[in-house]
Each structure stands twice: as structure tokens, then as C-alpha cells.
Amino acid sequence: MRSLAAGKNDAGQRLDRFLMKAFPAMSMGYICRLIRKKDIKVGGKRTEPAYKLTEGDVITIYAPDDMLGERPRDTGSTRVGGDIRVIYEDGNILLADKEPGLLVHEDDGGSSDTLIDRIKSYLVGKGEYDPDSELSFAPALCNRIDRNTGGIVIAAKNAESLRVLNQKIRDRELTKLYLCAVCGIPEKKEDTLTGYLYKDAKLNRVYITDRKAPENRTAVTKYRVLRTNADGDSLLEVDLITGRTHQIRAHMASIGHPLLGDGKYGSNRVNKEKGYRYQALYSYKLRFEFTTEAGCLGYLNGREFEAPDVWFLKNFE
């Protein structure tokens, strides 16, 4: 038998999902079976799998000890990592300016230095995150960008903020704008590109066509030319209407203007000649534009944040 109390970051979760996080050995089916048999109770009373926890709820579980092993300690928060560049921070969220070359999450190679681990370590150092006291929550990233792309990444410091941000991103109540440098000068100074994207998972590459097929996904990309330079290259601001894998890189290459520094969709020779080590793509601006209730994050509505140092802008001064 085991009893535990729901904490602040556990509140609002379904009971069954909370228990799966807290006790990884228990499957959803096993948890539901225990609930039906009244071997899991909340406040000493019969409950349901969909019950939403409130802070302070006492959950009692009657199950074999080998099923009640807690989830592994969050070792990511104790790893030695590099610094993070904080654009904005409050008690609920942190906006980090990710440098190109840094992974946001651990990949198959098992990298021990990722943005999320750096953020956890930073919050542990500030006393804002204690992995030993959390039953089901750890600070989490709400958006991702590729390893070789730089820019703004949103981290939620608590469960309520994570739920709100996930909903806002899903319903496009946040606007994320990108800067990119491309080869050549597009014929149209601004345009909305629509194509159909196919991903080859084995090659980790996507292809854009103008024909719809069952395996393709619609990709819509808006761009406008901000500046050009003496080398005949262009600086663009891009708004992703859809968010597909490699969408900006593949879409710009499909119209004859690949990103500088992009060896997969562009030219390594050109990139080397012009000194672009990373793809010239940066998630540089974030706007909160809420149209529905934002709960604990309502104070962010209307605010805009911008990355202070986009490395390739110097080539367009």
C-alpha cells in the first residue's frame, strides 16, 4: 500500500495519467483495473480514472510493491551544462535564446548537454525546481527548433503554464517569426507559398511538390524580403502558417533560393565561400496574441519578445 499527496504541479491532471507518470511500472489498463476494484482511492473514497486532481488530494494505492516503484530521478537537472541566454523570465515561463548547434532535447546519441537540461540546472540553482519533490512534473519546452537553428524557445516552469502554452500554440494564439538569409533575390518581395511536403524518414529530408497525394502534407509559408546585400543575397522574415519538418528550408529551396549555410537543401560550396557555418535561420520574434482565456498567463497577452543578437544580420548591414 502506498499513500501520496498531490502537489501544485499535479493539480489539474487526470488521475490515471498522473499515476502512469508517478509509477512507470503500472500500465493504463492496470491502473483502470485497480480503480474499478476500489484499490485506488482519493480521499478514502471511490474514484474514476478521469478524476481531475486538486492540490492536497491524498491518493491511496493498494498494489504489490514491485508496481509502486517511483519514476527515476530527473538526472538532467544535475548534469553539468553550459549557460543559457535568457530573453525573459517570470514565475511561470522562461524564454531562452538557443544557440545554433545545441540540441533542445537528448537525441539517439545520448547527448548530455541539451537546452532543457541547461534550463533545469539553472532552475535548480535558483531554487525554483526540486526534482526530488516532484511526483509527475519537470520543467518542459513548449516548442522545438532544429539543432542548427537558433532562436527563441519557450519553457514552462509549472504544469499549469505548460497546459496553457500547449493550448495556445495548438490554436495559433502565439506568433513565431523567423529570419533567414537566402541565396539570390526572390522575384516577389513578399509571397505566400503553398506546396505539399513529403518526408523521407530514412534520409531525414523532405520534398515539396505542387501535387497533393495521400502521403503528403500541406505546407504554407509566408515571407517578405527585408534587405538585400552586395553579394546578391536576401534577408527574409518568415511566418510559418503550417509547421512541418524543415519547412522553411525546403520551401525556399523549392523556389530556387535555398538558405545560406544549409548543406542539405543548398550548396556546401557556396556556404563555404560565404563563410556560413550554420544554416542562416533564426526564430527571432515571439508575440502572445490570446483570443481565449489564458488562465495564469493572461498578463502576457499583447507582449512581444525579440532575440537580441541574430548572428547573420551583420552580413546585411
pLDDT value of position 134: 87
Residue 157 lies in a domain: yes
pLDDT value of position 80: 54
Residue with the three cell numbers 556556404: 271
Q: How far is C-alpha 63 from the geometric centre of its chain's CA atoms?
A: 36
| Same domain assignment for residues 161 and 114 | yes
Query: Comparing C-alpha atoms, which of 244, 266, 243, 241 is closest to residue 255?
Result: 266
- φ and ψ at 281, to 5 degrees? -140, 130
* Total number of domains constituting the chain: 3
Residue 87 lies in a domain: yes
| Same domain assignment for residues 182 and 279 | yes
Q: What is the mean pLDDT of residues 100-114?
A: 80
pLDDT value of position 132: 85
Q: What is the residue-averaged pLDDT of the chain?
A: 92
Residue 292 lies in a domain: no
Residue 310 lies in a domain: no
Query: Comparing C-alpha atoms, which of 288, 282, 270, 279 is closest to residue 307?
Result: 282
Residue 43 lies in a domain: yes
Q: What percent of the chain has pLDDT over 70?
A: 95
| Same domain assignment for residues 203 and 271 | yes
Q: Determine contact, residues 94/86, Cβ cutoff 8 Å.
A: yes
| Same domain assignment for residues 146 and 196 | no
Which range has the worst mean pLDDT, 129-133, 148-152, 266-270? 129-133
pLDDT value of position 18: 92
pLDDT value of position 111: 66
| Same domain assignment for residues 163 and 184 | no
pLDDT category at 108 given cuts 50, 70, 90 is low
3-class secondary-structure state, position 316:
helix
Which tens digit of pLDDT belongs to each residue from 264-284? Answer: 999 999 999 999 988 999 999
| Same domain assignment for residues 90 and 150 | yes
pTM: 0.87
**pLDDT greater than 90 at residue 252:** yes
pLDDT category at 109 given cuts 50, 70, 90 is low
Which range has the worst mean pLDDT, 58-72, 80-94, 254-268? 58-72
Residue 253 lies in a domain: yes
Choice between 270 and 105, residue whose per-residue pLDDT is larger = 270
| Same domain assignment for residues 139 and 47 | no
Q: Treating both helix axes as pointing N-terminal to C-terminal, what angle do 15-22 and 28-36 enclose, rounded to 10 degrees? A: 120
pLDDT value of position 75: 59
Residue 243 lies in a domain: yes
Which tens digit of pLDDT belongs to each residue from 26-81? Answer: 999 999 999 999 999 999 999 999 999 999 999 999 999 888 877 666 655 555 56
| Same domain assignment for residues 63 and 120 | no
> Which residues are bridge partners to 10 per DSSP?
none
Report the CATH number that the domain containing residue 109 is assigned in CATH: 3.30.2350.10
Residue 312 lies in a domain: no
Which tens digit of pLDDT belongs to each residue from 170-221? Answer: 999 999 999 999 999 999 999 999 999 999 988 889 999 998 988 899 999 9
Choice between 113 and 108, residue whose per-residue pLDDT is larger = 113
- φ and ψ at 239, to 5 degrees? -120, 115
Q: HSE of 103 in the Cβ direction (CA atoms, 13 Å)?
A: 12
**pLDDT greater than 70 at residue 286:** yes
| Same domain assignment for residues 229 and 258 | yes
Q: What is the mean pLDDT of residues 162-172?
A: 95
Q: Determine contact, residues 116/155, Cβ cutoff 8 Å.
A: yes
Q: What percent of the chain has pLDDT over 90?
A: 78
Residue by residue, DSSP assigns 221-272 as: EEEEEEEE-TTS-EEEEEEESS--TTHHHHHHHHTT-PBTT-TTTS-HHHHH
| Same domain assignment for residues 188 and 245 | yes
Number of other residues whose CB lies within 10 A of the CB of residue 30:
15
Residue 183: domain span? 178-283
The count of residues in the chain is 317
Query: Comparing C-alpha atoms, which of 158, 151, 99, 156 is closest to residue 286?
Result: 151
